[in-house]
């Protein structure tokens, strides 16, 4: 089984590295080290879709972000993203997101972007925290007053239980909303921000206080005040070691006393978790206040 998972992961890695090129089944088979027929079968079994559908959805989501963030022509985006014709791109975009590219470029609305989760991450076991923690970078930062569009869970207290309750697709929706912090966030909400019967842990996106865009169905809007945070950032890690990176960082945070720099923990503001990305290291932000 592990050999098959690693083969599909190699195909996913190849697709990401060559996304805007012409990718053939022979290319994927070579990456998988299996025959084209067996490579295709493995890919469908592990991802739930054919390689062609996976590539199409991946390209369409990348194109949506470009249309959202850059002034560009539809034809330019279509060909840059590897589509053979503008008409084909427009039809595929409408099927995927329910609107045509020109409409979306003029008025970007939240859409469910495709998130290409690596299959190897579905089979990772959490390992004990290492006794010798790696280096942790700590910095005081300030967040402005803002709103957050959040998707609540039920009883979730961390990423793993939240995904079991809510699923993973919400992250693609949040990524489609332009954030003042550049990416979606995960939050541990203090009691005043929680509704009865909802979770402490939520996922969301931070937007400006003047946000008047679409609020997707199922999401709530909360107002967050300006606040100071301590940002904890760990060393880069192998992507498959993200569970260990989180556990090690949280163990390190538990030992940290903000009084050494003149602060105390602020329990009135949400704690923030960023997406674990190996190349930058795991990041959490904890709210602080001046020590009295």
State whether 263 and 167 are in the same domain: yes
Same domain, 153 and 279: yes
Average pLDDT over residues 213-240: 93
**pTM to 2 decimals?**
0.84
- Residue 273 has, within 13 A of its CA and on its CB side, a CA count of 21
Domain total of the chain: 2
Q: State the CATH number of the domain containing residue 154.
A: 3.20.80.10
Predicted confidence at residue 160, as pLDDT, reads 85
Domain that holds residue 186: 136-290
Pair 99, 30 in one domain: yes
Angle between helix axes 51-69 and 86-97 (nearest 10 degrees) is 90
CATH number of the domain residue 60 falls in: 1.10.10.60
40-52: average pLDDT: 93
Statement: residue 129 has pLDDT above 90: no
Share of the chain above pLDDT 90, in %: 82
**Same domain, yes or no, for 166 and 286?**
yes
Higher-pLDDT residue of 292 and 132 is 292
User: Which of 106, 121, 154 is the last residue before a domain boundary?
Assistant: 106
Q: Is the residue at 50 inside a domain?
A: yes
Residue 128 pLDDT greater than 60, yes or no: no
> Do residues 141 and 268 both lie within one domain?
yes
Task: Give per-residue pLDDT as tens, 58-84.
Answer: 999 999 999 999 999 999 999 999 998
Answer whether residue 283 shows pLDDT above 80. yes
Q: Are 240 and 285 in the same domain?
A: yes
75 & 193 share domain: no
Tokens 């985006």 sit at which residue?
Answer: 77
Q: What is the mean pLDDT of residues 109-128?
A: 77
State whether 95 and 158 are in the same domain: no
Do 79 and 176 fall within a single domain? no
- For residues 130-138, average pLDDT: 70
55 with 196, same domain: the answer is no
Residue 121 has pLDDT above 80, yes or no: no
The pLDDT value recorded for residue 205 is: 97
pLDDT of the residue at 238 = 85
Is residue 123 in a domain?
no
């Amino acid at each position: 089984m592990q050999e098959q998972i690693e083969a599909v992961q190699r195909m996913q890695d190849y697709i990401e590295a060559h996304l805007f090129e012409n990718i053939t089944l022979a290319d994927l088979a070579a990456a998988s080290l299996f025959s084209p027929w067996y490579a295709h079968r493995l890919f469908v079994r592990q991802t739930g879709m054919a390689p062609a559908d996976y590539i199409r959805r991946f390209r369409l989501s990348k194109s949506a972000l470009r249309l959202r963030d850059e002034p560009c022509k539809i034809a330019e985006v279509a060909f840059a993203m590897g589509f053979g014709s503008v008409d084909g791109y427009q039809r595929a975009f409408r099927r995927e997101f329910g609107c045509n590219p020109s409409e979306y470029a003029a008025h970007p609305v939240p859409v469910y972007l495709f998130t290409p989760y690596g299959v190897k991450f579905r089979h990772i076991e959490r390992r004990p925290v290492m006794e010798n923690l790696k280096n942790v970078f700590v910095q005081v930062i300030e967040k402005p007053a803002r709103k957050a569009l959040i998707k609540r869970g039920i009883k979730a207290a961390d990423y793993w239980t939240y995904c079991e309750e809510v699923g993973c697709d919400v992250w693609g929706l949040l990524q489609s909303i332009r954030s003042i912090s550049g990416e979606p966030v995960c939050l541990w909400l203090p009691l005043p921000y929680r509704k009865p019967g909802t979770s402490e842990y939520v996922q969301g996106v931070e937007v400006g206080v003047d946000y008047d865009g679409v609020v997707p169905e199922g999401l709530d809007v909360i107002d967050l005040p300006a606040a100071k945070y301590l940002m904890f950032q760990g060393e880069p890690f192998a992507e498959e070691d993200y569970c260990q990176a989180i556990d090690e960082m949280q163990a390190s945070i538990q030992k940290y006393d903000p009084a050494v720099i003149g602060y105390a923990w602020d329990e009135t503001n949400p704690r923030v978790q960023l997406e674990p990305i190996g190349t930058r290291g795991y990041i959490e932000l904890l709210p602080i206040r001046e020590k009295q």
